Amino acid sequence: MVHVKKTAAFRQRRAADTARWRERLQRGAAVYPVEVDGQLFDLMERFGELKDSKTGDRQAVANAVGRLLRRALEVLPAGTCPALGCVLIKVQNRSMIIFSP
């Protein structure tokens, strides 16, 4: 068995990752992977305020996905979304998606 020596930088990144995970856990938040294709990039540029020059910037893309999702929730009627396996609920001008397992 080969042991790889972990650098101080690695330990710092891991500690920061763990701190972010614990903070999300405490808030009750979850992180899900999102696959982004050309069509979604087009929508993010049009409705999510993503600049063409920022498509390689992970934080800019994440922010644009969030803005796009919020705008979509504003215009969708409340009800079920069988294609997504979720229910969309609107209460007092706030939208919430509940995903079924």
Query: What value does the mean pLDDT take over residues 66-79?
Result: 74
Q: Is residue 72 part of a domain?
A: yes
Q: Is residue 87 part of a domain?
A: yes
Q: Is residue 82 part of a domain?
A: yes
When pLDDT is cut at 50, 70 and 90, the band that residue 6 belongs to is confident
73, 97 Cβ separation under 8 angstroms: yes
Predicted confidence (pLDDT) per residue in 25-35, tens digit: 888 877 777 77
The contacts of residue 49 (CB under 8 Å, 6+ apart) are 64, 67
Nearest to 72 by CA among 53, 86, 56, 52: 86
Whole-number average pLDDT of the chain: 78
Structural domain tally of the chain?
1
Task: For residue 51, give its domain range.
Answer: 33-99
Predicted confidence (pLDDT) per residue in 81-94, tens digit: 666 666 666 666 66
Rounded to a whole number of angstroms, the CA Rg of the chain reads 18
75, 69 Cβ separation under 8 angstroms: no
Q: Is residue 56 part of a domain?
A: yes
Say yes or no to pLDDT of 100 above 60: no
Query: What value does the mean pLDDT take over residues 46-71?
Result: 86
Q: Is residue 2 part of a domain?
A: no
Q: Is residue 78 part of a domain?
A: yes
Pair of tokens at residue 27 = 């808030």
Q: Is residue 81 part of a domain?
A: yes
